[in-house]
Amino acid sequence: MSGHSSALLQAARLWERTSAKGTRYMSGRLGGVKIVILPNKDFVEGDQANGHTHTLFFTDGTPTQPRPADRAPAEPREPAQRERPRKATHQGNRQQIEDDVVPF
C-alpha cells in the first residue's frame, strides 16, 4: 500500500474460533451481515481455481429472536472512548462448535 495517503477503515472485528474437528476459522459481523472466513481445504499452490488459502462467506445477520423491549439501546461512544483490542493471554477462551459448511 505504499504511495497511498488514505487511512485504513475498520470494516469488521473478527474472532478466531476452532471447530469440533479442530479447524481454525474467523467469524464476526459486518453491519447486519454475519461473516466467516474458512480455510480452503482444496488449496493447491499455483492452481488458478484452488490457489487461494481462505474463502469469505456471508449470511443474514438478523437476529432470530426479538430483542427484549425493556432493554435500552446502547449509547453511541465517542471515537476517543473506543476500547483497544486486547491480546489473548491464554487459549482457554476459544469456543468449540460442530463442523458445518458455514458454522453460524
Q: How many whole angstroms separate alpha carbon 79 and alpha carbon 9?
A: 13
Kindly list the distances between the CA atom of residue 28 and the CA atoms of 54, 57, 70, 71, 74, in Å, as whole numbers in the listed order.
Answer: 15, 11, 26, 23, 19
Amino acid identity of residue 17, one-letter, is R
Q: Over its length of 104 residues, how does the chain's per-residue pLDDT go in tens digits? A: 556 668 999 999 999 999 999 999 999 999 889 999 999 888 778 877 787 889 999 999 887 766 666 656 666 655 555 555 555 444 444 555 555 555 55
**Model confidence pTM above 0.75:** no
Q: Are 16 and 26 in contact (CB under 8 A)?
A: yes
Residues whose CB is less than 8 angstroms from the CB of residue 18 and which lie 6 or more positions away in sequence, other chains included: 24, 25, 94, 95, 96
